[in-house]
């Protein structure tokens, strides 16, 4: 991955965890993903690999439940926050942190993992490398192992770009499936259609256990304010500030759930979440 991404997260690491407490978009993502993991977590703790672990939002909790965790990330700054968190929250004896670039990672650990997470990561990896990565993950899972991941989809990302007043880049994103500007995510950002991911599951010999589409509505709040803006609520537009209220956020989540259950809207989802097992 590009060094620009490391720079992007060096600055972002300072307030990254706060975003998941205040930004309606990030809050909805965090809630939904925790629930997804909880639904599919094996009854007995085992060995987990967290690819692109960030600050440990999800894998620290696994360690606290008795899992042994190998947590991998490109950003030293994010791993520093992760390390500080486990000193406070517990679980360090069960967590091994490793800084490495997933694009350079052959996944040739002499280990298998009962659970592999890859959350908010795949879009940073060139789409031409996805099959190779999925095959490598498949090889590191036993027959009963599970792979839980997500990815942002092309249509919603393109739509948001258009609504922000950037029609040229929106057309380029839709046609090429990649945002090539460093300003938004720190580097190129690859976005598939749902059918592309479904084909990838088949090619890499994975069997879907659960596939869901989410973020149809909350993502639109980015038109009002980027996630970072929610750290200073007094500066937010009044409409964006409304969703800092628990009752408004709860209503938003209830409607999100209703839309997510209707397969007709899958192309309009902001992200696709999936749980796979070796086929």
Q: Say if CB 34 and CB 20 are below 8 A apart.
A: no
pLDDT at 182 over 80: no
Q: What is the pTM of this model?
A: 0.93
Place of tokens 């930004």: 23
What would the two tokens of residue 21 be?
A: 């407490």
> Is a pLDDT exceeding 70 seen at residue 1?
no
Each residue's pLDDT tens digit, 184-232: 566 789 999 999 999 999 999 999 999 999 988 877 777 778 888 889 9
**Position 24 pLDDT exceeds 60:** yes
pLDDT at position 186: 64
Q: Give the pLDDT confidence score for residue 2 in this predicted structure.
A: 59
State residue 224's pLDDT score.
76
What are the contacts of 179-185 at 24+ separation with CB within 8 A?
182/2, 182/4, 182/8, 185/5, 185/8, 185/123, 185/124
The number of folded domains in the chain is 1
Q: Provide the percentage of residues in the chain whose pLDDT is more than 90.
A: 57
Q: Which residues contact 204 (CB under 8 A, 6 or more apart)?
A: 131, 134, 135, 137, 138
Q: Using the predicted structure, report yes or no on whether residue 69 has a pLDDT greater than 90.
A: yes
The CATH number assigned to the domain holding 162 equals 3.40.50.150
pLDDT in tens, 83-142: 999 999 877 789 999 998 887 766 666 789 999 999 999 999 999 999 999 999 999 999
* Residue 185 domain boundaries: 3-278
């Amino acid at each position: 991955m590009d060094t620009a991404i490391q720079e992007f997260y060096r600055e972002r690491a300072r307030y990254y965890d706060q975003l998941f407490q205040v930004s309606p978009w990030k809050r909805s993502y965090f809630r939904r993903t925790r629930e997804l993991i909880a639904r599919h977590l094996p009854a007995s703790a085992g060995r987990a690999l967290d690819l692109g672990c960030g600050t440990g939002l999800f894998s620290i909790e696994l360690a606290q439940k008795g899992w042994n965790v190998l947590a991998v990330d490109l950003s030293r700054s994010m791993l520093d926050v992760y390390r500080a968190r486990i000193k406070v929250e517990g679980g360090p004896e069960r967590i091994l942190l490793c800084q490495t670039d997933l694009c350079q990672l052959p996944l040739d650990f002499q280990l298998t993992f009962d659970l592999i997470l890859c959350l908010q990561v795949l879009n940073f990896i060139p789409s031409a490398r996805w099959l190779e990565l999925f095959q490598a993950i498949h090889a590191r899972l036993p027959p009963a192992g599970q792979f839980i991941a997500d990815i942002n989809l092309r249509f919603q990302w393109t739509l948001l770009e258009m609504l922000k007043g950037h029609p040229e880049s929106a057309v380029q994103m839709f046609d090429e499936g990649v945002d090539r500007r460093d300003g938004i995510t720190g580097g190129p950002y690859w976005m598939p259609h749902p059918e592309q991911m479904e084909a990838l599951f088949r090619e890499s010999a994975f069997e879907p256990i659960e596939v869901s589409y989410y973020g149809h509505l909350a993502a639109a709040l980015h038109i009002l304010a980027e996630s970072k803006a929610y750290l200073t609520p007094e500066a937010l537009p009044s409409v964006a500030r409304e969703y800092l209220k628990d009752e408004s956020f709860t209503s938003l989540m209830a409607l999100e759930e209703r839309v997510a259950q209707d397969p007709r809207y899958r192309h309009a989802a902001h992200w696709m979440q999936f749980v796979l097992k070796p086929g």
